[in-house]
Chains A and B, each alone.
Chain A
Amino acid sequence: MKPALPTKKMALGVDPDIMQTMAAVKEVAQESNIPTVVHPKISTSTAAPSPVVLPAPPAPLPDDVAPVVAKKVRGPKPAPVRRTSVDLPVYVIEQIRSMAYHDNKTKRRVILEALRAGGLTVKDIDLEEGPADA
């Protein structure tokens, strides 16, 4: 009981010719090597912050998101933070920005990791972003 191509009742923005749009999508997909179906991502079973090993390889953060339930783990809390401002050479600021982008990290994290590599105490938990608002 599959309805025939419902050309009349289509939503706005939908091409009247379904087949034409499908063909166009297939063409674009083939041209750009887009797979037909992507296999489900292997979900990581924990959202615990991964330990940071220095010097950190420029591994991008996984695209994957940990299951929502895993977020409920209660653990130590990050230390309180305070704003501070320092004047840095522009080329250093540029490198921080660039490293953050390439490693898919926050600039804060890039700076903290570098400070830790330089011998300062920075706890793993404090490398993470600040708390979300309520």
Chain B
Amino acid sequence: MSNKHGARFISFASPKGGVGKSTSCLAIAGALLAQGVKVRIIDFDQTETIWRWYTTSPAAQQIANLTVEQGPHSDHGDYISSLWGGATDYVLLDLAGSLSELTLMIAAFATLTITPAKVSEPDIIEANKMANKLHAVARRVSKPINHRILLNEVPNIVSRDEVDLIEQIDSSNLARFQTIIRRRSSYSKSFSRGTLPHFADPINPKAIAEIDDLMREIDAIFENDQLKAAA
């Protein structure tokens, strides 16, 4: 994998809390670290989920190439300006589960914004809200914005209604990852045990496989952008 690109910023944003932003942020961080790239996570959430995950876990602190820091909670103008000059391969931005100007700002600047959502109408409505606001910003600056919904915590058995809902998403303007993240205790476990799915002992191969599938989709988005930029 070539690292000849500028830093890639992935933000995890959703107006709704508890949808899996921090969980997917950490899962993706683990996949990237397993590829050997540098990852910098910035926790913008005042609940400090990832910050606490990191500071209370000696195992997490020993993962090579990973840095975790806290973002500012206000007065963010200067911070944002300087952030985008950083040189790390990947910067993952974990945002609070609410829609604020700061959330929207970070998401608008990110190379890719991921909004996790369960296969439930309330979650999809909130994800849609996020997409709308981002696209409103994009229209004003006449630039496309990469936003994807990540279906998360999908149970093993999906009901007819849930299938219907996924079909509705697919026939709408909402863009989603084809990869879906299942509900697995390995996600919550690696979280509470201060590790990452890719670094857990033992690892759950099914979880790893789905995160890697997701990574391939994310890479494709970045590659596509790069091709467009080069053209």
A residues sitting closer than 8 Å to B (CB atoms) are 2-3, 5-6, 9-15, 17-18, 20-22, 24-29, 31-32, 34-41, 43, 60, 63-65, 68-69, 71-72, 97, 101, 104, 107, 129-134
A sample of 16 inter-chain contacts (CB < 8 A) reads A3-B85, A10-B84, A11-B111, A13-B112, A25-B108, A28-B133, A31-B136, A36-B100, A36-B101, A38-B100, A63-B17, A63-B97, A64-B17, A64-B97, A68-B49, A107-B161
**CA distance in complex: A68, B49 (Å):** 9
B141 on the A face (CB < 8 A) = yes
Contact call B82/A41, Cβ cutoff below 8 A: no
Contact call A35/B101, Cβ cutoff below 8 A: yes
**CA distance in complex: A65, B98 (Å):** 12
**CA distance in complex: A77, B213 (Å):** 34
Contact call A133/B85, Cβ cutoff below 8 A: no
CB contacts (< 8 Å) of B216 on chain A: these are none
B168 on the A face (CB < 8 A) = no
Chain A residue at smallest Cβ distance from B8: A11
User: Which chain B residues numbered 117 to 161 have a C-beta less than 8 Å away from chain A?
Assistant: 120-122, 133, 136-137, 140-141, 143-146, 155-156, 159, 161
Contact call A14/B111, Cβ cutoff below 8 A: yes
Contact call A97/B6, Cβ cutoff below 8 A: no
Contact call A101/B82, Cβ cutoff below 8 A: no
B174 on the A face (CB < 8 A) = no
Contact call B73/A37, Cβ cutoff below 8 A: yes
CB contacts (< 8 Å) of B143 on chain A: these are 13, 15
User: Which single member of B98, B122, B136, B146 contacts A104 (CB below 8 Å)?
Assistant: B122
Interface size bucket, B side? 35 or more
B218 on the A face (CB < 8 A) = no
B residues sitting closer than 8 Å to A (CB atoms) are 5-9, 16-18, 46-47, 49, 73-74, 77-78, 80-82, 84-85, 87, 96-105, 108-112, 120-122, 133, 136-137, 140-141, 143-146, 155-156, 159, 161, 182-186, 188, 191-192, 204, 222, 225-226, 229
Residues A2 and B82 in contact in the complex (CB < 8 Å), given A9-B6, A14-B109, A129-B155: yes
Q: How many A-B residue pairs have CB under 8 A?
A: 157
Residues A68 and B191 in contact in the complex (CB < 8 Å), given A6-B82, A12-B6: yes
Contact call B185/A34, Cβ cutoff below 8 A: no
**CA distance in complex: A38, B14 (Å):** 13
Contact call B225/A12, Cβ cutoff below 8 A: yes
User: Which single member of A13, A21, A63, A134 contacts B137 (CB below 8 Å)?
Assistant: A21
Contact call B185/A21, Cβ cutoff below 8 A: no
Contact call A11/B9, Cβ cutoff below 8 A: yes
**CA distance in complex: A37, B161 (Å):** 36
Chain A residue at smallest Cβ distance from B122: A104
CB contacts (< 8 Å) of A133 on chain B: these are 156, 182-185
**CA distance in complex: A133, B182 (Å):** 9
